[in-house]
């Protein structure tokens, strides 16, 4: 059967012109048992063609945890361990990721995530799952009254990555096994803009990191192409006492982060300093890939000597910005435009949907609220990569600085 591609079903809220390349449903392939040739085709579709699609959807997929691990690994054959390190989230009990992940014993690279209690699942006698709720993470929360009417929030915009010691996974695979159906919800931004987005229950929302860069005004493009972010050591432990913004896009600056002395032991050599823009090594596109919650510092290079200054540049002589409020304000100004309702793809999950996404090209978030008896079970897999992402080339810097 020939492979067939169709655009993802965009909601009416989406600006279709911004999603022309983004995402494809792939028909005619069994993702659990691809031949080498078929896999290459999938890899090209994800991020290797002239315009990368970044999100691929397979409907009605049959996929064992072993097959899911093998498929994920094929994108980075020398990668081996789960993106946060196998069973490592269990070790650092203070990490905010700890309650959200249950490991499949047979295939520790695959995590069971979802909501409600699941019994006799792939070697787990009983797993209590909790769909993350924004009230446990945001500074403010939707009132119970509004929540009863179906109002919710983006939980946390992120890249799947440990951001300490390990390299950010290249792809994530998400496979829906149990998908409770229910009323659509309204995702409210609550940031004074009045923005809101109607979403399917329990959607996973995606935005394009490429679009995030493309829509920036020139002075922010110049800043982004010259900048790196330094993540805190053990960022998920560091941020655990802090509260997020109402859009789920970063942390409010209240001085609540743990001090570096209180963190589990850490080494300078394992701290991650990564470019703001990650270059797709094949298409050359620049994707704005920052996990805003974990950032502790913004390091800006000066404008190259041969670039003519206009006077509008930010930090033309470079800077090492350590003030958290300033760092977060700058990142927020650059990232917030790309999570506008018309730039979000909220996936409407069906059972046996497999979504493969380019974790170095998109940001995503959990959304929505389930009741305790709404049982949701997903398998998630991503693998700490064999290398760190590449930043902008000298040419890119000259072009955009």
Q: Using CB under 5 A, list all residues that contact Fe ion.
A: 160
Burial class (CB in 10 A: 0-12, 13-18, 19+), 118: buried
Q: How far apart are CA 272 and CA 299, in angstroms?
A: 12
Distances, alpha carbon 374 to alpha carbons 149, 181, 275, 348, 369, in Å:
17, 9, 40, 16, 10
Q: Which is nearer to Fe ion, 54 or 160 (CB)?
A: 160
| Residue labelled with tokens 């978030």 | 365
CA 196 to chain centre: 20
Q: Which is nearer to Fe ion, 47 or 400 (CB)?
A: 47
Q: Which is nearer to Fe ion, 89 or 222 (CB)?
A: 89
| H runs (alpha helix) in 75-142 | 88-91
Q: Which is nearer to Fe ion, 160 or 190 (CB)?
A: 160
Shortest Cβ distance from residue 364 to Fe ion (Å)? 6
CA nearest neighbour of 180 among 53, 350, 379, 391: 350
Q: Which residue is nearest to Fe ion (CB)?
A: 160
Q: Which is nearer to Fe ion, 118 or 171 (CB)?
A: 171
Shortest Cβ distance from residue 152 to Fe ion (Å)? 17
Q: Which is nearer to Fe ion, 132 or 341 (CB)?
A: 132
The backbone torsions φ and ψ at residue 110, rounded to the nearest 5 degrees and listed phi first, read: -105, 130
Shortest Cβ distance from residue 158 to Fe ion (Å)? 6
Q: Are 231 and 163 in contact (CB under 8 A)?
A: yes
Shortest Cβ distance from residue 89 to Fe ion (Å)? 13
Shortest Cβ distance from residue 88 to Fe ion (Å)? 16
Shortest Cβ distance from residue 239 to Fe ion (Å)? 15
């Amino acid at each position: 059967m020939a492979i067939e591609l169709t655009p993802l079903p965009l909601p009416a809220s989406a600006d279709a012109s911004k999603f022309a390349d983004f995402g494809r449903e792939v028909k005619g392939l069994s993702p659990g048992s691809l031949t080498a040739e078929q896999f290459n085709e999938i890899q090209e579709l994800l991020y290797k063609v002239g315009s990368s699609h970044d999100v691929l959807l397979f409907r009605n997929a049959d996929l064992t945890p072993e097959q899911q691990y093998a498929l994920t690994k094929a994108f980075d054959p020398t990668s081996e361990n789960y993106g946060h390190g196998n069973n490592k989230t269990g070790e650092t009990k203070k990490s905010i990721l700890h309650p959200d992940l249950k490991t499949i014993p047979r295939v520790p690279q695959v995590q069971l995530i979802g909501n409600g209690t699941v019994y006799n699942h792939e070697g787990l006698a009983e797993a209590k799952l909790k769909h993350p709720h924004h009230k446990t993470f945001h500074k403010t929360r939707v009132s119970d009254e509004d929540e009863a009417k179906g109002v919710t929030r983006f939980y946390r915009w992120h890249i799947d990555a440990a951001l300490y010691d390990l390299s950010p996974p290249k792809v994530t695979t998400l496979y829906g096994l149990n998908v409770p159906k229910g009323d659509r919800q309204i995702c409210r931004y609550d940031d004074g803009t009045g923005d809101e987005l109607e979403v399917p229950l329990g959607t996973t929302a995606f935005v394009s990191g490429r679009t995030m860069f493309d829509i920036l005004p020139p002075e922010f493009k110049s800043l982004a192409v010259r900048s790196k972010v330094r993540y805190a050591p053990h960022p998920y432990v560091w941020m655990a006492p802090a509260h997020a913004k109402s859009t789920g896009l970063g942390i409010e600056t209240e001085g609540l982060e743990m001090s570096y002395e209180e963190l589990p032991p850490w080494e300078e050599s394992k701290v991650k300093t990564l470019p703001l823009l990650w270059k797709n090594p094949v298409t050359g596109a620049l994707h704005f890939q920052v996990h805003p919650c974990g950032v502790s510092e913004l390091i800006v290079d000066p404008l190259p000597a041969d670039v003519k200054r206009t006077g509008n540049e930010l930090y033309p002589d470079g800077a090492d910005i350590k003030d958290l409020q300033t760092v977060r304000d700058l990142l927020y100004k650059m990232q917030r435009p790309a999570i506008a309702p018309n730039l979000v793809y909220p996936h409407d999950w069906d059972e046996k949907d497999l979504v493969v996404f380019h974790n170095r090209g998109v940001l995503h978030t959990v959304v929505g609220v389930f009741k305790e008896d709404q049982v949701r079970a997903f398998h998630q897999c991503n693998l700490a990569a064999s290398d760190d992402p590449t930043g902008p080339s000298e040419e890119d810097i000259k072009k955009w600085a």
